[in-house]
Chain A
Amino acid sequence: MSNITDLKLVELVDKIKKKELSSAEVTIAFIERSKKSKKLNTFISENYDNAIKKAKIFDQKPDFKKKLPGIPIAVKDLFCTKNIRTTAGSKILENFVPTYESTVTQNILDEGGIIIGKLNCDEFAMGSSNETSYFGNVQNPVSENLVPGGSSGGSSSALAAKLTPATIGTDTGGSIRQPASFTGTVGLKPTYGSCSRYGIVAFASSLDQAGPMTHDVKDCSLMLEIMSNYDTKDSTSVEFKRENYLNNLNENIKGKKIGIPKEYRVEGMPKEIDELWEKGIKIIKENGGEIIEISLPNTNYALPTYYIVAPAEASSNLARYDGVKYGFRSKGENLIDMYEKTRSEGFGDEVKRRIMIGTYVLSSGYYDAYYLKAQKVRRLIKNDFDEAYKKVDAILTPSTPSSAFKIGEKLNDPVSMYLNDIFTVPINLAGLPAISIPAGHDKKGYPLGLQVIGKAFDEQSILNIALALEKNISFKNNITDWWIK
Chain B
Amino acid sequence: MTIDLKTVKHISKLSRISIDDNKAKKLGKDLNSIFSFIEKLNELDTKNTEPLTSIAETTLKLRKDEIKSQNIREDILKNSPDKNKDFFVVPKVVE
Contact = CB atoms under 8 A, between A and B. Distances in A.
B82 interface: yes
A99 B56 contact: no
Interface string A75-105: 0000000000000000000011101100000
A238 B8 CA distance: 40
A353 interface: yes
The residue in B11, B27, B58, B78 that gathers the most chain A C-beta atoms within 10 A of its C-beta is B11
B49 A338 contact: no
B44 A380 contact: yes
A325 B88 contact: yes
Interface string A303-338: 111011000000100010011111111001111111
A430 B39 CA distance: 21
Contact of B46 (A236, A334, A377): A377
Contact of B31 (A232, A326, A340, A353): A353
Would you call the interface of chain B mostly helix, strand, loop, or mixed? loop
A333 B49 CA distance: 48
B81 A339 contact: no
Interface residues of B, number: 50
Interface residues of A, number: 67
Summarize A's interface: helix, strand, loop or mixed.
helix
Contact of A356 (B17, B41, B54): B17
A385 B30 CA distance: 32
Contacts of B70: none
B25 to A, nearest CB: 14
Contact of A344 (B17, B52, B55, B76): B17
Given A327-B81, A375-B51, A375-B52, A355 B15 contact: yes
A347 B56 CA distance: 31
Interface string A22-48: 000000000000000000000000000
Contact of A340 (B17, B44, B53, B80): B17
B2 interface: no
A472 interface: no
A339 to B, nearest CB: 5
Interface string B56-95: 1010110100000000100110111110000010111100
B41 A304 contact: yes
Contacts of B93: 334-335
Contact of B56 (A236, A327, A340): A236
A304 B56 contact: no
10 contacts: A303-B37, A341-B18, A343-B18, A360-B7, A363-B14, A373-B41, A377-B44, A379-B51, A415-B34, A431-B55
Given A327-B81, A337-B18, A376-B46, 14 more contacts: A95-B79, A192-B56, A324-B88, A326-B80, A329-B81, A334-B92, A335-B90, A337-B91, A352-B19, A375-B51, A375-B52, A377-B41, A377-B46, A431-B55
Interface of B: 3, 7-8, 11-12, 14-19, 27, 30-31, 33-34, 37-44, 46, 49-56, 58, 60-61, 63, 72, 75-76, 78-82, 88, 90-93
